[in-house]
Structure formats: C-alpha cells, structure tokens
Amino acid sequence: MRLRALLENDSLGLKLLGGEDELDRTVRGVMTTDLRDPSRYLSGGELVLTGLAWRRAPEDSESFVQILTAAQVAGLAAGEAELGPVPEDLVAACARHRLPLFSVAESVAFATITEHVVRQVSTERAGDLAAVVDRHRRLMSSGPAGGGPDVVLDLLGSDLDLPAWVLSPTGRQIARPSQGPALPHTVAARLAGTHMAALRTGRRSPHRTTVEGTAYSLFPVHRGAGDPRRTVLSEWMLAVAADTGDWPAERLDLLHGVTQLIAVERDRRDAARTVRRRLAQEVLELVQAGAPPSETAARLRVAAPVLLPGQGAAPHWQVVVARVDWDEPDPARALDGGAIAQSLLEELLVDPRTVGPDGSDRIAVAHVEGEAVALVPLTGRDADGREEDEGTGTRAASGGQARAGG
C-alpha cells in the first residue's frame, strides 16, 4: 500500500505535517518505537510510529530523523497522546530529509494503525481470504445459495479493509458492500468510462485511476475469450478503492478469484433471462412473419404476467431497437453484434441509479440479424402524459408502442 492511502482513511486519525510530495512511497510494514536508535529493527519501507519519548532536547530530532532516513523508512507518525502537539524541530528535521511526517490524534491507538497496515500488506491474510473466496465460488457454481457477490464484497471489506463494488458498463452498481462508504453514481460512471477506454486500448488489467482524490483499481469480469469489443460493451467490472500498483502476486490473485465468482453470478442471471428473451423472440418472429394482430396480441398477453407479475391489466408496450455498428464491415461480426446489442440494451434500459438486484427483470430483449429489439412494459403516465414504468426500475426510450388487444 502507499502512504497516500493512509490519509484517505479517516478512522486512522492521521494528519499530514510534511512530505506531501512523498506520499506515493510504498509501505511494507509498521513499527512502533521510542528507541533513540531503532535502526537494528528496520529493514526499509516501514511506517514508524512513535510517542516521542526518545526526544529529550530539540537537537534529538535531527539525529532521529537521520537514522530513519538512512534506514529508508516510508514515513514517521508521531502520537499526541503523551507529549501533546508534534514539536516544530521534528517537523523541520523531517522537511530537511524529505521524510513524510504525520501526527496521530490522541483518540487513536497505535494498535489501530498497526492492525490496518498489517492487514493491507499481509500476503498471508490475502491467502486465507483467497481460500474463502474459492470455497464461495464453488458454492456459487452450484446455484445462488452462496449469497451472490455481495457476500464476497463484505469479506473484502471485513478482512482486508478493501471497499469494492461490481459495476456494469453504464456504471450501475450491480453489487456493493453492506457496510462502508457509498460509491456516488457520478464516480461509478467515470470508473466505467475509464475501464472501457482501457479495454479498447488493450491495456493490461487491473486498470488504475484516481477519481476525486481516491485511487481505484479496475478488474474486468471476463467470461471467456472473444472480441474485446464484446467485453467493452457488455461485461461487468470489479472496482476496488486501492492502488494495486505495488501489490504482490498473491493479493492480485485474490481479486482475480473474486472476478471469477462474479462471472458465475453473471452467467446465473443471464440464465434467468432465458424465458423473457424467448418471449420477446416469439413476438418478434410473429411480427416479421406478418402474423395477424390478434395472434401477436395473444403472445403479448402471455408475456405480460411474466414481466409484470400481479399487475392484472394488459400494459402498453414500448418497442426499442438497437444496433451495434463496427468500424469495418464484417458479416460475421454483424450477426454477433445482435447478441452484444441485446446484452447492452438490457442494461441501458435500466435506470443507472438502480442498485442491487438486476432491474431488467421486466424487460424482454430479442436479437436477430445484428439488431436487438426490446419489449418494455409501461404501466403509468408521467405529469406530461408520457408513458413511464412506475416502480420497475426501467426507463423507456421514445419510439413506437404496441398494446395487446382482444
């Protein structure tokens, strides 16, 4: 982890007193000491915590900081619980030697900071959680009884202090931890855009970025090989609030294992869409074949209770058509584009601010000859008299409408 990440955690009670230009230093461990010369216990990369008991005169600060600098520690954090505010001579000495200096609030114990750092850098803890994730993935492969990706996101938060979210290509939050900070929709949308841009350029994952001062790493949720453009437009991603640039391989393997679990959940949700997709396909085939309106209306009446259970009345239907056009003509890709457009349209018709379970369970999308066609039930009217879907989490695009009739 990096020093900068420590400042982003308010629970650690750290305040930066100097060394802002050095916050990208890597923290490989933590040590608490009040020895005048702790060099024999330092190996480099530590965050040193001290209560300042070694300081008996102002000139002691210079020699102490020299020792830490020679040992190549990552930074120094001085507690204010015993001796009050950090003395100016220590601030000046750290500035001269370019050593990042933090103060630790009186209300925060050194043990809290130590535990946080150890949990972040310990590959053993990552390995333990990797085993948990692997067991959970096997459960998920047998069905939804494992609890979905939300459970593993909670594990990441509780065991590694790692906030994480599953996002769609539109930035919609498919899953999020039950505890911890919320991810604003504007941030999620920017992360999705960054992820798609990185995939288009073929950059190796995880893709790292910073949004509103917070570092994020983005992991694609792959479900097999194929044209990268399919991944850009239809696949989910795992976003974690951390800079993984200096992570060991074991810790990265953990996150890749989580993406495999999420891919299983994605396949399960796609399987649940099979009935809705088949209903849409049957309606589309009837229209293309020039079937009588009464036959098409009958098929729509069959679809209504599946998409709108318990509604009773036959709804209006919004028909939305989408196509994915490639830069170069390719008949094979055109046919494949229908499946891509189907997946993308199912996502685009859901309000991007909908969080949690899939909001497309009231949308039926078929695809044929490179196009996707969606049937969206409309159950109410807004203040302007336009059709809208009340409480379904879907949003309707303008276009032709059809109503099931007798």
Q: Residue 356 — left, alpha, or beta (φ > 0 → left; ψ -120 to 50 → alpha)?
A: left
- CA-CA distance, 241 to 167, in Å (whole number)? 13
pLDDT at 313: 58
| Confidence (pLDDT) at 399 | 38
Q: Assess whether pLDDT exceeds 60 at residue 181.
A: yes
Q: What is the mean pLDDT of residues 339-361?
A: 74
Confidence of residue 321 (pLDDT cuts 50, 70, 90): confident
pLDDT band at 384 (very low <50, low <70, confident <90, very high): very low
The pLDDT value recorded for residue 146 is 52
pLDDT in the model for residue 397: 43
Residue 381 has pLDDT above 60, yes or no: no
Instruction: Identify the pLDDT of residue 140.
Output: 54
Locate 134 and state its tokens: 């692997």
| Helical residues (DSSP H) of 161-309, grouped into ranges | 185-200, 228-234, 249-272, 274-288, 293-307
Nearest to 133 by CA among 151, 118, 145: 151
Domain extent listing, the chain: 3-120, 122-270, 273-403
The pLDDT > 70 percentage for the chain reads 78
Share of the chain above pLDDT 90, in %: 26
> Which residue(s) pair with 402 in the sheet?
317
How many beta carbons lie within 10 A of that of residue 382, not counting itself? 9
- pLDDT of 317 reads 80
**CATH number belonging to domain 122-270:** 3.30.450.30
Give the separation between CA 348 and CA 196, rounded to whole angstroms: 15
Return the sign of the alpha-carbon dihedral for residues 303, 307, 309, 315.
negative
Q: Is the pLDDT of residue 289 over 50?
A: yes
Query: CA angle 293-297-301, nearest 5°?
Result: 175
Residue 262: what pLDDT?
A: 85
Measured CA to CA, the distance from residue 72 to residue 299 in angstroms comes to 73
Top CATH class, 3-120: alpha beta
pLDDT digits (tens, 9 = 90+) for 225-280: 555 555 677 788 999 999 988 888 778 888 888 888 888 778 777 777 788 888 88
| pLDDT for 144 beyond 60 | no
- 56-89 pLDDT, tens digit each: 999 999 999 999 999 999 999 999 877 788 999 9
Mean pLDDT of the 163-186 span: 87
| C-alpha span between 62 and 36 (Å, rounded) | 11
Among candidates 319, 397, 318, 393, which has minimal Cα distance to 350?
A: 393
Q: How distant is the alpha carbon of residue 54 from its chain centre? A: 44
Computed over every residue of the chain, the mean pLDDT equals 79
403: nearest Cα among 368, 375, 363: 375
Could you report the per-residue pLDDT of 149-162, keeping only the tens digit for each?
Answer: 788 888 888 777 88
Alpha-carbon distance of 231 to 225, in angstroms, equals: 9
Please say whether the beta carbons of 358 and 335 come within 8 A. Answer: no
